[in-house]
Structure 1
Amino acid sequence: MDTNLLNNYVLKAIDAYPYELEETVENLNYALSYESNNAYALYLMARLQAEQFGDYEKAKHYYAEALANKMDFQKAYPRYIQVLLNNEDLEEAKKLIDFALTIKGIDKGAIWEKQAQIFEIKQEYKAAIKTLKKAKLFGFNNDFISYIDSEILRNKNKLKSKQKPSKLKAKKKKCRKKKKKTN
């Protein structure tokens, strides 16, 4: 097939997504029927499955195909990792993060932020905060840095609330001991 026609279908799908889903699907189906391993069409189909239908298994399949055909497709990694996190595939997400950090030109800040999400899911808030600080080092715009700052603050608040119950228990024990001594 003529590459220009294929690109035309992919570009039409990109232009239509996410506002004209019917047109997006139609153009993606045309593009994939002409070239079933077109990485960008597969990537967009994965996004459609995850973001519009919530079908993370299908999205994983399309992301895996897209990256199998174009391993240096930097744009796909953060979204694929997010799908893995949403699907609770933490080990698979960790492996993909480790690999993604070796890709030349990838947004390392976004990838480190995904690593922090894994720590947060596991309730390892100190590790999440440390990783978010690493992500912040790779932030090159104010919006991303502000977002990371808010993520750090949220994890600090979770860490405080996680520590409070144990402190309350210790205070209650002290009060009980004092009452026993006075009685």
Structure 2
Amino acid sequence: MTLTKSKYYFEALDYFPFNLSECMDALNYALSYEPEDADSLCLMGRVYSEELKDYETAKKYFDEAMQSNIGNVNTPKYYIECLLNNEDYKEAEKLIAFALELKGIDKSEILNCLSLLHERNFEYKQALGTLKEAKKFAYNRAALEILEDREKLVKGKTVRTRTVKKAD
């Protein structure tokens, strides 16, 4: 990571997502200095995925970021979210399995993505089990609150059936 590239990458990160024009300018500068920088490619993927909803273009940037630095712990979470939004569930499942093996990755975030995958497949019991597992890896209050909120949401979706006794 060169000093000039770092300057532009951090500017882009600072502008994201509130000033996309400046963010894109800074990202393009960063990538012109180092075209294979995984962090810059990941941020470009986030712009296309989160802001422009152009998941196919985003996937290309995320793929490039992964190829550039397979051990980058920043890319998988955002790539998984993009895949889930694009309903590429099989790809997301494979990337989740890979990401959980990466040293230094935030496992609570990746397990949260896995619970979302289960939820999107209407597997609420598995989603709740995964959230329980994710809580073990949540090491700050904010992360734990996110997981607890997701747990409440999933519990609210589970169908509860009660048998009603008829009076004779």
How many pairs are equivalent?
A: 168
8 Å CA contact retained: 2:39, 2:74: no
1:37 aligns with 2:43: no
Q: How does 1:150-161 map to 2 (within 5 A)?
A: 150-159=149-158, 161=159
8 Å CA contact retained: 2:73, 2:105: yes
Distance verdict in 2 for CA 1:3–1:94, change over 3 Å: same
In 1, the alpha carbon distance for the partners of 2:91 and 2:21 equals 32
CA RMSD in angstroms comes to 2.0
Using the TM superposition, give the Cα deviation of residue 10 of structure 1 relative to its aligned residue in structure 2, in angstroms.
Answer: 1.6
Q: How does 1:1-183 map to 2 (within 5 A)?
A: 3-159=2-158, 161=159, 163-164=160-161, 167=162
Alignment gaps of 5+ in structure 2 = none
Using the TM superposition, give the Cα deviation of residue 66 of structure 1 relative to its aligned residue in structure 2, in angstroms.
Answer: 0.7
* Alignment-mate amino acid for residue 99 of structure 2: A
Deviations 1:88-136 (A, max 9, x none): 0010000000000110000001111111111111111111111100001
State the identity as a percent. Answer: 39
* Alignment-mate amino acid for residue 132 of structure 1: L
Deviations 1:68-91 (A, max 9, x none): 111111111111111100000010
- When the two structures are superposed, what TM-score results if normalisation uses the length of structure 1? 0.84
Runs ≥4 in structure 1, deviation > 3 angstroms? none
Using the TM superposition, give the Cα deviation of residue 49 of structure 1 relative to its aligned residue in structure 2, in angstroms.
Answer: 0.7
Higher relative contact order (CA 8 A, sep 6+): 2
Distance verdict in 2 for CA 1:124–1:140, change over 3 Å: same
Deviations 1:40-72 (A, max 9, x none): 111111111112111111111111111111111
Alignment gaps of 5+ in structure 1 = none
* Alignment-mate amino acid for residue 116 of structure 1: S
Using the TM superposition, give the Cα deviation of residue 8 of structure 1 relative to its aligned residue in structure 2, in angstroms.
Answer: 2.0
Over alpha carbons, which structure has the higher Rg? 1
Distance verdict in 2 for CA 1:142–1:26, change over 3 Å: same
